[in-house]
Homo-oligomer: A and B are copies of this chain.
């Protein structure tokens, strides 16, 4: 039996910035607790108060080092920062400081920084369902910026883009080139590109290839948009994603990266893109929750009916379309 939690008390303490209350609320979100609805209702008014920045890229490009350097710079500017490190492949969760995340411990005692690792538990759409709500918890705790760091594997990059106001796509010389990134579909989601480890050989080549790929992608995109008559979308296509070179381990280029993030946010606000992105994101989140409810009902209360229908389909008494219609 799960212990009932005093949600109001937790929310009050989280709003005061108590790290334990914040951690506890995110755990409720992650565990898909029955009290989640209550949590969600109470923190809803805090929604949309932070700038949500996604960081993604292949393993080894230096996402954690860059996140750490960004956090340091933002703390220097007096901002309260939340970090969600989402590992779609890891079975571990609960705020564990994994492997290369160790350097984030620089900030472990800073009350103005909340750091949390989340695992997506292997189920598709896991990030889609839990992460936006975890972002809201961090917003309720007063974070001005929430950085969502995701390993660029499979679906997750696309999901991180669906989660963030601004998506930073990271590359590094020798760590999977721009062509591979293009194939993986992560160029399209980049609002800002960061070529890290820029002191290494091949950095200029990476930047050059990236620039070529990005402008190719954009022109393909632009002609798509001409076809659709959506003016907002076409305004969005007018943003030209900048490429910033960084050496995060020496904190080089970090201010420039922050500046480009700021410019992107400004541009979005000026073109009414920010609100539109957030509405689309919320719609995707609601849809994921609806689908999850249906899936849960089919594996739970409606499980026996589904089983019976499946048996009838196998024996040819029933077709699957009719079966689906009766179960809906």
Contact = CB atoms under 8 A, between A and B. Distances in A.
A280 interface: yes
B41 A313 contact: no
A152 B309 CA distance: 30
A314 B278 contact: yes
A279 B319 contact: no
A289 B328 CA distance: 9
B294 A47 contact: no
Interface of A is mostly: helix
A283 interface: yes
A311 B40 contact: no
- In the complex this chain forms, how many copies of it are found? 2
A282 B133 CA distance: 34
Interface of A: 36-37, 40-41, 43-48, 124, 132-133, 154, 275, 278-283, 285-287, 289-291, 293-295, 298, 306-307, 309-311, 313-325, 327-328
Contact of A324 (B280, B293, B325): B293
A133 B320 contact: yes
Contact of A320 (B46, B275, B282, B316): B282
A321 B283 contact: no
* Residue among A37, A41, A320 having the largest count of chain B Cβ atoms under 10 Å: A320
Contacts of A283: 306-307, 309-310
A115 B149 CA distance: 46
A36 B321 contact: yes
B285 A320 contact: yes
Given A279-B311, A293-B324, A328-B293, A287 B306 contact: yes
13 contacts: A40-B319, A41-B322, A44-B313, A46-B316, A47-B314, A132-B320, A154-B154, A283-B307, A286-B313, A286-B323, A290-B298, A293-B328, A294-B294
Given A44-B316, A283-B307, A321-B40, A291 B289 contact: no
A278 B48 CA distance: 47
A293 to B, nearest CB: 6
A264 to B, nearest CB: 19
Nearest to A46: B316
